[in-house]
C-alpha cells in the first residue's frame, strides 16, 4: 500500500472514531431536544439532588458540613434528642442567671422598702416636732411676757411709790423677804426689797422661757437633720430604682427573650420528635428561618449568642466569621 493510501485510511478511521464519541450538545434524532448542562453536571457529581439541596462541596461555608434537607433528624445520630438535651441545660443555666439578677433586685427592693420605713418614721417625727414647736414658741413667749410684766408692774409701783401700790405688787406676785416672810408695804426699804424680788421672779420666768426657746431650737435642728436624711434616702431609692430598671432592661429582659427563643425551638423539636422518623432537616430549617425572622423583629433585645444557638440547634448556621 502506498503512503497516500495509508494516509487516507488513517483519516477515515479517525473520522469514524470521532463521530462515535458522545457530543454533549448534540441533537438526538427524532426528539429535537438538547441534553442540558445540569444533567451533565449531575452525572459528573455522581447523582441527582433534591430541590433546595446542593452537594456538600458547594456549601457556602467550607468550615461546616450540614446535613442535607432530605436527611432524617433521627438518623444514625439522633439530632433531636441531642439538641433537646443541650436546650434543657442551656435554658436551666439562663434561668439561673435571671434568678441571680432577680436576687440582686430583691436586695435593692428590700433596701428601698427599709428606706421608705425610715422616711415615714422621720416624717412622723418631723410632724410631731412641728406641733411641739408651736407649743414651745407659745410657752417661750408666755414666760418671757410674764418676766416683762413683772418688771413693768414693779416700775409702775416704783413710779407711784404709794403704800397701796406696793401692797398691790407684793400681793400680786407674793413677794417675800429672805426669811420667807411677806414684804411689809410700809417698810422703809420696800422699794429695794420689791426690786430684788421682782428681778428674781422675772429671772426665773426668763430662765423658763429660755428652756422652751432652746427646746424649740433643738426641734428645729432635729427637723433639719431628718429632712436631710430623708432627702438622702430618697436619692438612694431613686438610684436603686434606676439600677432595677436598668437591670430589667439590659439584663433580665434580653435573657427572658433569649430563653423564650430557645423554648420555641424546643417545642418545635418535640413536635418533630412526636412525628417519629418522618421529620427532616429541611422541615426544621424552613420553620426556623421564618420564625427567627419574625421573632427578631418583635424582640430586638435578644442577645446575639441566643440567635447563634438557635441557628445551631436549627441546623442553619452562618459562616464562622458571622457567628
Q: Mean per-residue pLDDT for 257-275?
A: 88
Q: What is the CA 177 to chain-centroid distance, rounded?
A: 79
Per-residue pLDDT at 82 exceeds 50: yes
Give how far Cα 269 sits from Cα of 28, 79, 81, 285, 288, Å: 50, 9, 9, 11, 11
Q: Which residues have C-beta within 8 Å of that of residue 217, sequence separation ≥ 6? A: none
Q: What is the structure's pLDDT at 160?
A: 92
Comparison of pLDDT for 314 and 203, the residue scoring more:
203
Residue 205 burial (CB < 10 Å; 0-12/13-18/19+)?
buried
Least confident of 46-55, 74-83, 273-282: 46-55
pLDDT tops 70 at residue 212: yes
Summarised one tens digit per residue, pLDDT across range 110-141 is: 999 999 999 999 999 999 999 999 999 999 99
Check if the beta carbon of residue 119 is closer than 8 Å to that of residue 230: yes
The per-residue pLDDT for range 158-208, each reduced to its tens digit, is 999 999 999 999 999 999 998 999 999 999 999 999 999 999 999 999 999
Please give the average per-residue pLDDT across 58-62, as a whole number.
47
Window from 55-59, 138-142, 241-245, 247-251 with minimum mean pLDDT = 55-59
With 0.85 as the threshold, say if the pTM is over it. no
Between residues 150 and 320, the one the model is more confident about: 150
pLDDT at 220: 97
Per-residue pLDDT at 64: 54
Give me the residue label for grid cell 418688771. Answer: 151
Burial of 215 (0-12, 13-18, 19+ CB in 10 A): middle
Span 162-171, pLDDT tens digits: 999 999 999 9
Q: Answer with the residue of higher pLDDT: 189 or 21.
A: 189
Say whether pLDDT at 250 is over 90. yes
User: Average pLDDT for residues 139-160, to the nearest whole number?
Assistant: 96
Q: Which residues contact 48 (CB under 8 A, 6 or more apart)?
A: 42
Per-residue pLDDT at 320: 55
> pLDDT value at position 278?
66
Return the higher-pLDDT residue of 66 and 80: 80
Beta-carbon neighbour count of residue 143 at 10 Å? 21
The model's confidence at residue 80, banded by pLDDT at 50, 70 and 90, is confident
Residue 16 has pLDDT above 60, yes or no: no
Distance CA 258, CA 5 (A): 85
Identify the three-state secondary structure at position 131. Answer: helix
Q: Which residue has the higher pLDDT, 164 or 320?
A: 164
Q: According to the model, what pLDDT value does residue 25 have?
A: 41
Running DSSP on this structure, what letter comes out for residue 280? Answer: B
The answer to which of 211-215, 225-229, 253-257, 307-311 has the lowest mean pLDDT is: 307-311
| Cα gap 286→265, rounded to integer Å | 12
Q: How confident is the model at residue 274, as a pLDDT?
A: 78
Amino acid at each position: 500500500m502506498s503512503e497516500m493510501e495509508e494516509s487516507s485510511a488513517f483519516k477515515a478511521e479517525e473520522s469514524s472514531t470521532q463521530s462515535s464519541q458522545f457530543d454533549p450538545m448534540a441533537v438526538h434524532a427524532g426528539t429535537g431536544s438538547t441534553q442540558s448542562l445540569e444533567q451533565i453536571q449531575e452525572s459528573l457529581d455522581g447523582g441527582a439532588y433534591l430541590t433546595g439541596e446542593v452537594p456538600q462541596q458547594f456549601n457556602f461555608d467550607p468550615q461546616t458540613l450540614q446535613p442535607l434537607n432530605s436527611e432524617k433528624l433521627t438518623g444514625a445520630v439522633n439530632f433531636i434528642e441531642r439538641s433537646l438535651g443541650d436546650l434543657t441545660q442551656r435554658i436551666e443555666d439562663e434561668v439561673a442567671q435571671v434568678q441571680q439578677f432577680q436576687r440582686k433586685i430583691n436586695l435593692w427592693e428590700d433596701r428601698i422598702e427599709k428606706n421608705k420605713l425610715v422616711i415615714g418614721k422621720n416624717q412622723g417625727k418631723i410632724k410631731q416636732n412641728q406641733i411641739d414647736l408651736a407649743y414651745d414658741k407659745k410657752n417661750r413667749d408666755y414666760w418671757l411676757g410674764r418676766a416683762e410684766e413683772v418688771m413693768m408692774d414693779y416700775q409702775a409701783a416704783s413710779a407711784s411709790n404709794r403704800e397701796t401700790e406696793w401692797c398691790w405688787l407684793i400681793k400680786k406676785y407674793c413677794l417675800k423677804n429672805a426669811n420667807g416672810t411677806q414684804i411689809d408695804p410700809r417698810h422703809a426699804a420696800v422699794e429695794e426689797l420689791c426690786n430684788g424680788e421682782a428681778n428674781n421672779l422675772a429671772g426665773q420666768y426668763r430662765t423658763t422661757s429660755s428652756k422652751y426657746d432652746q427646746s424649740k431650737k433643738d426641734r428645729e435642728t432635729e427637723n433639719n437633720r431628718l429632712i436631710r436624711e430623708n432627702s438622702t434616702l430618697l436619692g438612694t431609692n431613686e438610684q436603686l430604682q434606676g439600677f432595677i430598671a436598668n437591670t430589667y432592661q439590659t439584663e433580665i429582659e434580653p435573657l427572658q427573650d433569649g430563653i423564650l427563643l430557645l423554648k420555641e425551638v424546643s417545642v418545635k423539636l418535640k413536635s418533630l420528635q412526636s412525628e417519629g422518623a418522618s421529620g427532616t432537616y429541611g422541615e426544621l430549617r424552613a420553620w426556623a428561618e421564618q420564625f427567627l425572622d419574625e421573632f427578631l423583629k418583635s424582640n430586638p433585645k435578644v442577645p446575639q449568642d441566643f440567635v447563634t444557638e438557635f441557628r445551631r440547634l436549627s441546623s442553619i448556621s452562618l459562616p464562622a466569621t458571622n457567628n
